[in-house]
């Protein structure tokens, strides 16, 4: 069992949560002890429930191929798989992503904003209203 801990560093403001991941000691600072305790609880849950929390760095083409295979295993219709792959190509083109490490919230926001300039506003509005922004990318490829 992996146990994160909360501690205070001498002569440094704030509280820290520490833990070991892949044999390396890691830590994160917080302004209050309560926030550090909350993070300790979350990190404990992640570390002891087989949740992967590290950053993965896959080549963009490798990531797309593995995602395509995953969708085929799900028995997704060919047209849907095509739309997903088209959306990923749009993302790579508009954001300039070369690896999975570059899939960040700011880059997703940039993609959404740039893609909204290319498709009708109604398409985007329907998507956001029905599915929320997290699911909007599949709809953004429509209209091409």
Mean pLDDT estimate for the chain: 78
Q: How far apart are CA 127 and CA 10, in angstroms?
A: 50
- Asked if pLDDT for residue 136 goes beyond 70, the answer is no
Quote the CA–CA distance of 23 and 25 in Å, as a whole number: 7
- Mean pLDDT of the 107-120 span: 83
Q: CA 98 from chain center: how many Å?
A: 15
Residue showing tokens 């892949």: 22
pLDDT digits (tens, 9 = 90+) for 25-65: 999 999 999 999 999 998 888 888 765 556 677 888 888 88
**pLDDT band at residue 5 under the 50/70/90 scheme:** very high
The whole-number pLDDT of residue 39 equals 92
Radius of gyration of the CA atoms of the chain, in A: 20
Going from N- to C-terminal start, the domains of the chain cover 5-47, 60-140
In this model, does residue 134 exceed pLDDT 50? no
């Amino acid at each position: 069992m992996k146990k994160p801990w909360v501690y205070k560093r001498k002569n440094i403001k704030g509280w820290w949560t520490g833990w070991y991941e892949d044999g390396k000691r890691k830590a994160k600072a917080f302004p209050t002890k309560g926030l550090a305790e909350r993070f300790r609880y979350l990190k404990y849950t992640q570390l002891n429930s087989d949740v992967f929390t590290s950053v993965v760095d896959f080549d963009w083409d490798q990531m797309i191929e593995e995602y395509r295979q995953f969708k085929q295993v799900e028995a997704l219709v060919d047209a849907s798989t095509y739309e997903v792959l088209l959306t990923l190509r749009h993302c790579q083109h508009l954001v300039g992503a070369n690896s999975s490490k570059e899939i960040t919230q700011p880059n997703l926001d940039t993609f959404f904003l740039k893609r909204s300039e290319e498709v009708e506003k109604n398409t985007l509005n329907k998507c956001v209203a029905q599915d929320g922004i997290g699911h909007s990318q599949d709809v953004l490829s429509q209209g091409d």
